[in-house]
Structure 1
Amino acid sequence: MKMIKLFIAFLALSAVAGLSFGLYSTENPAETLSNYQNTYECHPAVIHTPSSVEEIQQIVQDAIANGQTVMTGNRKFASQIDAACTANGQVQITLENMNHILAFDAEAKTVSVEAGMRFNDLNDFLRSQELAVNMVTELNIFTIGGMLGSGTHGSTLAKPSNMIADYVTSMTIVNGLGEVKVLTGEALNAARVNLGVLGVVVEVTLQLEPAFKVLADVKGYRDDSGLENIILDIARDNYSANIAWFPGIGRYTTTLYNPMPLQSEGNAYNAQADVSDTQEFFFGLLFDALHEFPGSGLQCLAAKVRYGARDESYYRDLDTGKVVDYPIGHSDQMQYFECKDPDSCVWDKLPIALQEVAIPLEELPNWIMDVREILAAHPTTCFPLNGIYFRFGKASPSYLGMSAGRDTAYLGIEYTLRQEGNAVPKNYFVNLEIEQMSIRKYGARPHWGKNSVAIFENAPAKYEKWDAFMAFKNEMDPQNIFTNPFWQRITGEDSLENYFSPECNARGECYCQTDEHCADGTSCQAGAWYDDARICK
């Protein structure tokens, strides 16, 4: 009932503002790739869909002969930016036809799959064998190769890692010479999170564990005072913890998972993506309003709506479809969710962007206190989508994983997407002050696929084994066949200074240095609390 009342409230506000809601088109022209929201397009000369390793070898060898570069990524790639795109006029490979299980060893608890296989299909098979992948994530429709390329992660400090990349025992790759290489040992650590620049990952073998069920405990707390003092205990005392902090309204929610025997009664699943057409319509009104409605009151109302959606169970019974207050179910179906239509999730249609960074775990309490200071300098700021979202993971042996070499806290802030011709989101400058404070004061590592151009400033310095990764890339791809504009920006080959242009801040391409970098009506200023930041306000 409370959700209905809140939806009616923001519908009324939207109606007063005279706002409309339109979905993005899902049609793409031939030989064009787009991201999951159709907000970023790539224009390769050709898109190859090979069905065998030998075909991939030939594609790479042809590219070498023709002086072209290559990148692997789906026709609808799960990134906000161009991490999976080849450069315009170059060669794109998709692995949609290479999506099979190649070998399965129940005794050794290993499975070998082609890199184009989707995680949900793998989980369906493993569940039937009473086995599971020893990691957690949330959305389960990614391909295995894509998860390795970007370092897809979940949240656990109870397991050796929260990344599927760290449960790979061997990886087969077609390198930049068109050769097939099987990677293990230290070479595998270099390639676990590879950004697609070492070659085409074609096959991987994963270490499994016995299947288990989990009990989910979802709670809301209407007083966030002292959260910094208990948040690490929450993370360490549970198998998996996801925490959404809504500081603008002084609240937070926790979703905690703990293991249960496989024989436990319960057949629940994670239904947070089961959004009705009516709810989707309301969300669309809300997101338009967040762009155009004056003031910040609507942001805080939206934050209350989202808090209300996360402060009690969002799990349903697989058989009845009814909400379960004490949800127990298979670990994958509880922790990972999928959309009713995997090709048309609600966030595919609604303008959402996500900033996610990772900082050393022990620094999280200090980071929260610093965010409180920033928000005190920017009163009436709310985070209307999922608040500030915390997840956790142990140190990874990977060279370029977000948790490489250090126990890690992951910090995510969602906001309404910048759209051409529209104002930036309300209080976006507050997000930018937090963002710059995170990367400059705390050495935060940006997620490889979820961020803007600007946030990757000085990215190589964030990784102790960056030079070792570059040496391995030179060995695997001596002619630099596997490169793209994203990689060129990361390495500094294409300097971020090249992106300074009028209103570049509004496009997420720069942190402002002069007023011309800001949108009309704003100027480039020091952060209100973190004065090393530069924000357009």
Structure 2
Amino acid sequence: MYQQLLTGRSHLLRRATNFLCAAGLFIAAGASADQLPPPIDVPEVLKNYQGTQDCFPGVIHDPSTIAEVQAIVRDAAAQGRKVMAGTRRFNSQIDAACAGNGEVQITLENMDQVVRLDKENRLVTVQAGMRFNDLTAYLREHELSVPMVTELAIFSIGGMLGSGTHGSTFTQKSNMISDYVTEMKIVDGKGDLRVLTGEMLNAARVNLGVLGVVVEVTIEAEPGYKVRAKVKGQRDDSDLESVILDLARDNHSANVAWFPGLGRYTVTTYNKVPLSTRGNAYNAQADVSDFSEYLFGLIFDSLHEADSTALQCFAASLRYTARTGSYFRDVNSGLKKYIKPTGHADLMQHFVCKEPNNCVWDKLPIALQEVAIPFEELPNWIADVRQIMAHSERTCFPLNGIYFRFGKASESYLGMSAGRDTAFVGIEYTLRQRGEAVPKNYFVNLEIEQMSLRKYGARPHWGKNSVAIFENMPSRFPKWSQFLDAKAELDPENVFTNPFWERVSGQDPLENYLTPQCNADGQCYCRTDQHCEQGATCQAGSWYSEARICKKD
């Protein structure tokens, strides 16, 4: 989807040249094999979960100990190379965790264990390569729970801290696991092991991988509990502005899927019940039959190719209907639970896929934009979206509509909810690919996106989205300069950087991405007609006039 590393721009071509040089440099430097874990002999192309984003590191290391991580960082720093921690099949639409071309990639797949459990104080220390679902399963065995739950649970703990991965809860301290970390061990830019607490920990809670390699974290847990779910569809969305904030405030966890093209919305809520409560259900949204998976694939492949509002709205109608019924099943029998589905908090709130690490959504040609806006502004934002919709062609959002989740203000410097109570707004759409047709009515998405950024001070999700959406990022976080101070202390030689950080920090200005047809695959917001796909012109938004959208007349 976003082939930033292959766009042909001069600054990226220079990195590609460095790739070849760096491979030779690594050999010439004579890295000592007895200190470093053996690298992968032939550099791999790392891909994201959809195969739409490629990364081209010069070397990949899979350390098994903190000492090995330290040796890798020291060796890279001595050679003047850059380091980034990530995974081979990363769960992101963008290159946030990719080492630059020819640089050093570290994976923590061999560092995925529980280090210790302090059950009395409800603290668990884990290696950063551990997967979130493994952590929640471990705690469940000890009658403990993580205070927040994400809907997808296959992320590594380190990756969740890097991007600020979140769930939805407005009654807990936070909806990000980052805010439940009490201590963090990180290998800094000199290869030294640092133990972070206090304000330095707040800087590193959401770190984008540019402060160092997080190797261990201690996480605060709470006594185990179950949740009871309620799913309801509303066939009239006229009351949404008046009820949505209370839905967040009055429930342990809530998510709302709004289908404005249909005039409908669905609500799923979860509320705590004692661990002894009967029920052993799980969330089966992504555990679909082979036929359903095939049908979804046909529909979304067709959406990707067809210029059809009717088909788009048909897909949205199918999803609305699917979200109005119970999508919970019993762990033992596999039967659907229609009446008061109840189960362990983690299994009820995150999707359990038919195949491990391979959900149906991963196989569909879809992408996701998500932003965070001030919580109290959400009714006004919804009203503005209604105006955009009223002044545009009918538009349906075919997967989960416009999807709302919620969280309280975070002490993190770069979390999406840093310093403010937050509503998280996600919109799925069919993939944009260079040289191919853009999604049907994508200009409506672009107008909503730019309105969110410029009128509501939205903050883009660090692990999703496009190149264009990360505009003026330093201005969006009050403690951006303090984050840079923390980076200067932990990484004075700027060992931990990559193309993504250079873009979002402004070192690589987004003006560099203003190339012909750059709007079509999310590289830019148009400024002139040449930035649009063939046959479209760059125009003011239909309602929000400060937006610039590519539209065919």
TM-score (norm 1): 0.94
Cα separation, 2, equivalents of 1:232 and 1:349: 33
SS state at 2:451 partner? helix
Q: Take 1:128 and 1:473, find their aligned partners in 2: how far apart are those partners?
A: 38
The alpha-carbon deviation at position 345 of structure 1 amounts to: 1.9
Residue in structure 2 matched with residue 474 of structure 1 by the alignment? 488
Alignment of 1:53-452 (within 5 A): 53-325=66-338, 326-452=340-466
Residue correspondences, number: 509
How many Å apart are 1:118 and its aligned residue? 0.4
Read off the aligned partner of 2:94 and give its amino acid letter. Answer: I
* Mapped contact 2:282–2:352 kept (Cα < 8 A): no
CA distance in 2, matches of 1:31, 1:294: 37
> RMSD over aligned Cα, in angstroms?
0.9
8 Å Cα contact 2:63-2:108 kept in structure 1: yes
Report Cα offsets for 1:410-461 as digits up to 9, x if no partner.
0000001113442111011100000000000000000001110000000110
Equivalence for 1:34: 47
Instruction: Give the distance between the partners of 2:394 and 2:505, measured in 1 at CA.
Output: 38
CA drift of 1:198 comes to: 0.2
SS in 1 for 2:518: coil
Give yes or no for contact 1:270–1:316 (8 Å, CA) kept in 2.
yes
Q: After superposition, give the CA deviation of every residue in 1:118-173 in whole Å (9 maximum; x if it has no partner).
A: 01111111001000111121111110000000000011110000000000000000
Structure 1 residue 30 displacement after superposition: 5.4
8 Å contact kept, 1:238–1:256: yes
- Shift in Å at residue 342 of structure 1? 2.5
Give the CA deviation at 1:278.
Answer: 1.4
State how far apart, in whole Å, the 1-side matches of 2:232 and 2:198 are: 42
How big is the shift at 1:293? 2.2
CA distance in 1, matches of 2:352, 2:434: 30
Q: Write the letter of the residue equivalent to 2:313.
A: C
Provide the rounded CA distance (Å) in 2 between the counterparts of 1:89 and 1:419.
25
1:534 aligns with 2:548: yes
Contact 2:43 2:56 in 1 (8 A): no
Comparing 77-86 and 293-302, the one that deviates more: 293-302
Aligned residue type for 2:468 = A
Determine the structure 2 residue equivalent to 1:21: none
Q: Aligned partners of 2:546, 2:435: CA distance in 1, in Å?
A: 29
Instruction: Name the structure 2 match of 1:22.
Output: none
Tell me the SS of whatever aligns to 2:220: strand
- Cα distance in 2 for residues equivalent to 1:410 and 1:83: 20
**Unmatched tracts of structure 1, length 5 or more:** 1-28
Q: Percent identity?
A: 68
Is the CA contact 1:303–1:384 (under 8 Å) kept in the aligned structure 2? yes
Quick one: distance in 1 between partners of 2:359 and 2:279?
26
The one-letter amino acid paired with 1:435 is E
After TM superposition, which residue ranges in structure 1, 4 or more long, deviate above 6 angstroms?
A: none
- Give the aligned partner of residue 9 of structure 2: none
Matched, 1:492 2:506: yes
Distance 1:422 1:129 in 2: 51
Retained in 2: the 8 A contact 1:218–1:310?
yes
CA distance in structure 1 between the partners assigned to 2:189 and 2:404 by the alignment:
37
Tell me, which stretches of 5 or more residues in structure 2 are unaligned? 1-41
Q: What's the secondary structure of 2:100's corresponding residue?
A: coil
Inter-partner Cα distance in structure 1 for 2:527 and 2:261: 28
CA distance in structure 2 between the aligned counterparts of 1:493 and 1:422, rounded to whole angstroms = 30
Deviation (angstroms), 1:330: 0.5
Alignment of 1:518 onto 2:537 = no
- Structure 1, residues 294-351: CA drift from partner, whole Å, max 9, x if none? 3311111111000011011100000110110120000111011232323322222211
